[in-house]
Structures are given as structure tokens and as C-alpha cells.
Amino acid sequence: MQTLRTLREVTELNTAGQETPREEKEFTRSGPHFSDRITADGRDGWPVEAGRYRLVVSRACPWASRALISRRLLGLEPALSLAVTDPIQDERSWRFTLDKGDRDPVLGIAFLSEAYDAREKEYPGGVSVPAIVDVPSGKLVTNDFQRLTLDFATEWTALHREGAPDLYPEEHRDEIDEVMEGVYQDVNNGVYLAGFAKHQHTYEDAYRALFARLDRLSERLATRRYLVGDTITEADIRLFTTLVRFDAVYNGHFKCNRNKLSEDRVLWGYVRDLFQTPGFGDTVDFDHIKRHYYQVHTAVNPTRIVPVGPDLSVWSTPHGREELGGRPFGDGTPPGPVPPGEEVPEAGRAR
């Protein structure tokens, strides 16, 4: 998720656009400006190194949630520290107002934009999460949300916990990539295309593509527990982060309202199965999610009223997906408890 560096309509926070009249501009998602990779051999100048980097996320953001889940499943918490921003941004970017003194205790900055400026002075683009910052220099390393978690799975292996699952198994990568591309275009990004549409036809096109893809995914998951193979992979992480937000925000706020996710037996069972798997639901903060979407997107929700529902107790109800078989962690094991200080606050937990 991005924040623009100047005051504009808040609904354009995630847009990268050409200089066209505002009333004609449709939502587009920009690629990462900082696409350096942190690799085992350090070929981009950033070697994998325990304790050197800090992962900055918003728990509201589905793209950042991918990194949170991957980090948990792989056991990278001791090697890669975590900074969580306030879900409510302003024109100066993501803020560290959840921390004492309104500054990140490790980086010493008040706004994530300061790490961007340290890397490239007067960088004109959006300030996005997830982001990885080099602690010694205070410089942003990467904001490449598409590549970041794949590198966690393949380049950070020396720092994985014992029993970490293989989230991007080599023998299934072609299929995983194909599934993820459709999920990205029509679901992950599709909800934004619908929610930020400026014209009726644009909205309807995104709406139809979204639900057509969800129908295909529902059919696929009717006979298998996970998207690819019989274990959790990167593809499941990427689908989960949109589905877990669907009824709380996308169904109403973004007008993706053909049906609620809870009305699709297969997808509702699938997302609850993942939510109840260690490493997934224990990273989800529904309070941050709802407050961000309903209070930041003021052109979509000018009253800034945050809905009370939906009922979060349903997330702990039986899903019945075990009967499909599958091994969530393959030959590995579940992650351990959430590290102290990283727990989701009580206000945001499903009860």
C-alpha cells in the first residue's frame, strides 16, 4: 500500500497515474521503484544477514500481510525485526505512532518516508509497505512486494527455522506462478480496480473478472485442500490476504457485493482453515484493517464511519477441510508462538 507525498484525494493513495484529469483517471498499481533483492550471495549489494534488516508493515495492508505470514511460517522473526505502522496514514506517509515517542525504536524515524529519502533524496513516488530497511544506514532496500516473499522462501534459507515449510517448492513453481498471476490480476488487485473505479464500465469489468476468478478458485478448491499440491504454498498466502478482508471491507466498501465470502461454502471453509493454521490468523488485525480502509479512503467513505460488524467469532468455527487430506507444512512443522511484543492487540483479534 502506498502513500503519496503530497496532499491529494486519499482514494488515490494506491494509484500511480499519468497526468490526466482527475475525473478521467482510473486506478493503476505502480511497480516497485526500489527492486533490489536481498540474496544469499548479495549480488545486489544486500546479502542475507541476521539482524541487519527491518521489515516495515501495516497490518491493514494485504501486500504487507504476505510478508508477515511468510516471516512467521519460515521462522525468520529472530533474524528480521518487525516494525508495525499506524493503520491511519497522512500525507507524510506511514507513521510510527504506535511506538513510544511516535518513532520506530530501531530506526529512530517517525515516518517511513524518511527511509525512502535516505535512499533517494526527494524521491517523488509513493511510500509503500511492505518495505525492508537497512538498519545500519537507515536506507530503504526494497519495496518489491511481489518478489520479497519469494526471496524469503528461497534466498533466506540459511536463517529458516528448523522444520520450516517449503513455500515455493521447485517442482511446483510453474503451476504456482500461473495460479498466482490469475489471483493477482483478478482478486488481489481486482478488488482495488472495482473499489477505486471512476466509471461504471470500469467497475463492472473488474467486478465480473473478480467473481469469475473466485468461482474458478472455488471449483478448484472443492476437491483439494490447497491451491497447488498438498501443502501450503506462496499461492495460498497470496489468496488468503485478500479473502480474509473480503467480508470486512471489500464486499461493502469496494462494492464487491455479488455475495459475501461466507456465502461460498468452499472458499469460506478454505479461508477459515488457513486462518486457524498457526502463522495465518495470528497475524491478522481486523481493527487495523477496518479503520484503515474506512477512515483513509475518504472519497469512498466520506463519513469515515467504521462498521461494527461482521461478527469475528465465526473465524473459529469448524471448517471441515481436513477431510480433503493435505499436509499444511509438508514434512515440516508449525511455527512456534508469536514472539513477545508482536501479538495482535485484543481489539483486532477474532474471538
Cα dist. 232→23, 126, 149, 240 in Å? Answer: 42, 32, 14, 11
- For the stretch 139-151, pLDDT in tens is 999 999 999 999 9
Cα dist. 116→87, 124, 267 in Å? Answer: 19, 10, 38
pLDDT, average across residues 20-37: 70
Q: Do residues 94 and 56 make contact, with C-beta atoms less than 8 angstroms apart?
A: yes
Amino acid at 181: E
Residue 141 phi, psi dihedral angles, 5° rounding: -100, -55
Sign, CA torsion 67/68/73/76 = positive
**Residue linked to cell 498466482:** 180
- For the stretch 50-67, pLDDT in tens is 999 999 999 999 999 999
The pLDDT of residue 328 is 98
The pLDDT of residue 9 is 38
Beta bridge partners of 56: 83, 131
Architecture of the CATH domain 171-348: Up-down Bundle (1.20)
Q: pLDDT confidence of 3, banded at 50, 70, 90?
A: low
Q: Do residues 68 and 41 make contact, with C-beta atoms less than 8 angstroms apart?
A: no
The pLDDT of residue 2 is 64
Domains 2-159 and 171-348 share a fold: no
Binding residues for glutathione: 94
Binding residues: 94
- H helix runs in the chain, sequence order: 62-74, 113-119, 145-154, 173-183, 190-195, 200-221, 234-243, 265-275, 286-296
173: CB partners within 8 A, 6+ apart: none
CATH of 2-159, one of 3.30.160.250, 3.40.50.1400, 1.10.1060.10, 3.40.30.10: 3.40.30.10
- For the stretch 254-303, pLDDT in tens is 999 999 999 999 999 999 999 999 999 999 999 999 999 999 999 999 99
The pLDDT of residue 30 is 66
Is residue 10's pLDDT more than 50?
Answer: no
Burial call 51-70: b when 16+ CB within 10 Å, e when fewer: ebbbbbbbbbbbbbbbbbbb
Alpha-carbon distance of 77 to 278, in angstroms, equals 14
Cα dist. 175→106, 172, 182, 199, 274 in Å? Answer: 39, 5, 11, 34, 20
Amino acid at 20: T
215: CB partners within 8 A, 6+ apart: none
Is residue 152's pLDDT more than 80?
Answer: yes
Alpha-carbon distance of 202 to 205, in angstroms, equals 5
Which residues are known catalytic residues?
61, 192
Residue 340 exposed, middle or buried by CB count within 10 Å (0-12, 13-18, 19+): exposed
Q: Give the domain ranges of the chain.
A: 2-159, 171-348
